[in-house]
């Protein structure tokens, strides 16, 4: 059930990125809902789950909006794996680690997509422009992870249930 909710969150994030944040007053910022949710899933549920969801949502994004198939699927999958494998060793429910992980993975994702599009001669952007865009994306995604962290933590963590109802600690 939690995996279905996670995939629905990714789907809603993709829809928001492709519709609401393309309208002129909102197109000044480009929050990476999909990337932030993937990083949170990787930290909360592990790299294997995150990679599967990343490849699925990446293929959906590539088929629907991409210039060629496989760019976002590969980039999201790589970012989700490294996010879960490297930072999963630290405290899972720590806001500081999650924030730093999101900033780093946003930077990595931006440069992976730039490198692949440059390799296949799809873009002619200069590296300094991509660097500026990655810094802006890091700031926006950092704010987004601060807003989404409490919600996602409540959804994806396993709550321990006490066997007995102890109300005031006196037994």
- Which ranges constitute the DSSP H helices of 66-158? 71-87, 95-119, 127-156
Better-predicted residue by pLDDT, 65 or 67 = 65
Domains of the chain: 2-156 (1.10.1760)
The model's pLDDT over 5-36, given as tens digits with 9 standing for 90+, comes to 999 999 999 999 999 998 888 888 889 999 99
DSSP-derived secondary structure letter, 163: S
The model's pLDDT over 100-128, given as tens digits with 9 standing for 90+, comes to 999 999 999 999 999 999 999 888 899 99
Structure token digits, residue 165: 């109802």
Distances (CA, A) of 33 to 40, 59, 162: 11, 16, 35
Distances (CA, A) of 109 to 37, 61, 131: 14, 15, 12
Give the pTM. 0.88
Tokens 């999101």 map to which residue? 102
The tally of CA atoms less than 13 A away on the side-chain side of residue 161 is: 1
- The b-or-e profile of 36-68 (16+ CB within 10 A means b, else e) is bbbbbbbbbbebebbbebbbbbbbbbbeeebee
Phi, psi of 29, rounded to the nearest 5 degrees: -115, 145
Confidence of residue 68 (pLDDT cuts 50, 70, 90): confident
Q: Is the pLDDT of residue 164 over 90?
A: no
């Amino acid at each position: 059930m939690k995996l279905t909710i996670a995939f629905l969150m990714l789907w809603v994030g993709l829809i928001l990125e492709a519709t609401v944040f393309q309208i002129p007053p909102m197109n000044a910022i480009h929050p990476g809902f999909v990337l932030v949710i993937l990083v949170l899933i990787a930290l909360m549920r592990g790299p294997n789950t995150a990679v599967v969801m990343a490849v699925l949502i990446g293929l959906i994004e590539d088929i629907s909006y991409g210039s060629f198939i496989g760019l976002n699927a590969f980039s999201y999958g790589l970012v989700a794996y490294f996010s879960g494998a490297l930072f999963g060793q630290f405290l899972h429910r720590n806001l500081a680690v999650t924030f730093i992980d999101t900033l780093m993975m946003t930077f990595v994702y931006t440069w992976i997509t730039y490198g692949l599009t440059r390799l296949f001669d799809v873009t002619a952007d200069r590296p300094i422009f991509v660097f500026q865009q990655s810094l802006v994306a890091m700031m926006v995604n950092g704010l987004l992870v601060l807003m989404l962290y409490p919600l996602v933590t409540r959804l994806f963590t396993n709550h321990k249930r006490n066997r007995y109802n102890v109300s005031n600690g006196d037994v």
